[in-house]
Amino acid sequence: MDRVAIVTGGTRGIGEAISLALKELGCKVAANYAGNDEKARAFTDRTGIDAFRWDVGDHQACLDGCAAVAEKLGPVDIVVNNAGITRDGVLAKMNFDDWNEVMRINLGGCFNMAKATFGGMRERNWGRIVNIGSINGQAGQYGQVNYAAAKSGIHGFTKALAQEGAKFGVTVNAIAPGYIDTDMVAAVPAQVLEKIVAKIPVGRLGQAEEIARGVAFLCSEEAGFVTGSTMSINGGQHMY
């Protein structure tokens, strides 16, 4: 599959697994990252995948970053909006910055990346956008009004943009991961996480590669009839 793909937050965690899965499909992959140059360099050394630094919450930075990728690798056919942060806390303790940063990066990032790439996909009559939502955007989660709102927004964004892309061969889908064995989940207090894992019917955390396989399918040539859908990959924790 000779396509150019950008994976936001693509150098670590679920993003790294997605970058690798798309490379395995034959794509030329650009892995975006926000700040950790050292980890990004180590990622490139390990995988041979180019890493590009910009903040997905910054509109102009996305336009410039996507242009830089296109200049180096060619027109962008696939975007995986994976970059995301948590700023967990109950509403009483959450400040406006905690709310705003999560909305700016997790949801705003999807808009910014689509603005930078959707037009070109439409003109070339082929494109794939996969947005990484969350079980917590579907079901809500104590201590996450910001994150749950942003991830829920991603699911609405996906269905709306899918309708705009359909007649141009551009599919837009979401994946809603459950609790995956990453740094983000490792930051949940151990006694809280233990209770969450006890509610996962499969009986364990997911692996990043289990999300990446879903993304690879949605990006494939064969998935052209799948659009506006949400694939839940959560070990049966939330069936909906």
Give the residue numbers annotated as catalytic, written as ranges: 147
107 and 57 Cβ atoms separated by less than 8 Å:
no
Over the window 102 to 121, marking each residue x when it contacts ligand CAA by CB under 6 A and - when it does not, the resulting string is: --------------------
Residues 6+ apart with CB under 8 A from 18: 7, 10, 80, 82, 208, 211, 212, 215, 216
Q: What count of other Cβ atoms lies within 10 Å of the Cβ of residue 171?
A: 24
Could you give the count of Cα atoms lying within 13 Å of 23 in the half-sphere of its Cβ?
Answer: 18
The kind and range of the H/E element at 80 are: strand 78-81
Does 136 bind ligand CAA (CB under 6 A)? Our answer is yes
The span from the CA of 218 to the CA of 142, in Å, is 30
- Would you list the DSSP string of 165-182? HGGGTEEEEEEEE-SBSS
- Among positions 31-70, residues that touch ligand CAA (CB under 6 A) are none
CB of 43 to ligand CAA, least distance (A): 21
C-beta of 121 vs 211, nearer to ligand CAA = 211
Task: Look at residues 78, 97, 74 and name the one whose alpha carbon lies nearest to residue 87.
Answer: 97
Among 75, 143, 169, 228, binds ligand CAA (CB under 6 A): 143
Residue at token pair 């069936």: 239
# residues contacting ligand CAA (CB under 6 A): 20
In angstroms, what is the minimal distance from the CB of 150 to ligand CAA? 10
Length in residues, the chain: 240
Beta bridge partners of 101: none
Structure tokens at 197: 């894992």
Point out which span in 49-57, 83-91, 109-117, 200-208 binds ligand CAA (CB under 6 A). Answer: 83-91
Nearest residue (CB) to ligand CAA, 117 versus 173: 173
Of the two residues 61 and 193, which places its CB atom closer to ligand CAA in the complex? 193
Q: Which one of 113-121, 128-136, 203-211, 223-231 is the stretch in contact with ligand CAA (CB under 6 A)?
A: 128-136
Which residue lies nearest ligand CAA, judged by its C-beta? 143
Q: Is 81 in the site for ligand CAA (CB under 6 A)?
A: no
Per-residue interface string for the shown chain with ligand CAA, residues 168-207, x marking contact by CB under 6 A: ---------x-x----xx--xx--x---------------
Rule CB under 6 A: choose which of 8, 134, 146, 158 binds ligand CAA: 134
Of positions 72, 74, 123, 142, contacts ligand CAA by CB under 6 A? 142
Residues 6 or more apart whose CB falls under 8 angstroms from that of 125 comprise 168, 169
Residues of this chain that bind ligand CAA (CB under 6 A): 86, 88-90, 93, 134-136, 141-144, 147, 177, 179, 184-185, 188-189, 192
